[in-house]
Amino acid sequence: GENVEQHPSTLSVQEGDSAVIKCTYSDSASNYFPWYKQELGKRPQLIIDIRSNVGEKKDQRIAVTLNKTAKHFSLHITETQPEDSAVYFCAASFTSGSRLTFGEGTQLTVNP
């Protein structure tokens, strides 16, 4: 079955620095890769996603890159702000699959 590994499990940065979270997936048929942000006590919310026919996607301060050959994808947050502090989850879905498989999450802390 599909397996998604996420690193690091915790990440602490200074305000204004960049943060990078990396995920690898096991099923080469995976074709959809969303990222979710979960603030303390809240629900996970979709912040950006990428499909297998695209190598990079950007939305203001966040970007996601995908390397299909290496089967890994990354979330990049630039100019981090304290409100970026949250748990971030990567996920993958493979063609004709019936679920998202989530990574184990990264606790990002942005220190003012």
Partner 1 sequence: DTAVSQTPKYLVTQMGNDKSIKCEQNLGHDTMYWYKQDSKKFLKIMFSYNNKELIINETVPNRFSPKSPDKAHLNLHINSLELGDSAVYFCASSQELTPDYGYTFGSGTRLTVV
Residue placing its CB nearer to partner 1 in the complex, 17 or 101: 101
Q: What is the CA radius of gyration of the chain?
A: 13
Residue placing its CB nearer to partner 1 in the complex, 27 or 49: 49
Shortest separation between residue 79's beta carbon and partner 1, angstroms: 25
β partners of residue 109: 12
Residues that bind partner 1 (CB under 8 A): 31-32, 34, 38, 42-46, 49, 51, 87, 89, 91, 93, 95-100, 102, 104-105, 107
Confirm if 65 and 56 have CB atoms less than 8 A apart: yes
> How many angstroms separate the CA atoms of 110 and 29, rounded?
35
Shortest separation between residue 44's beta carbon and partner 1, angstroms: 5
Shortest separation between residue 98's beta carbon and partner 1, angstroms: 5
Bridging pattern class, strands 106-111 and 10-14:
parallel
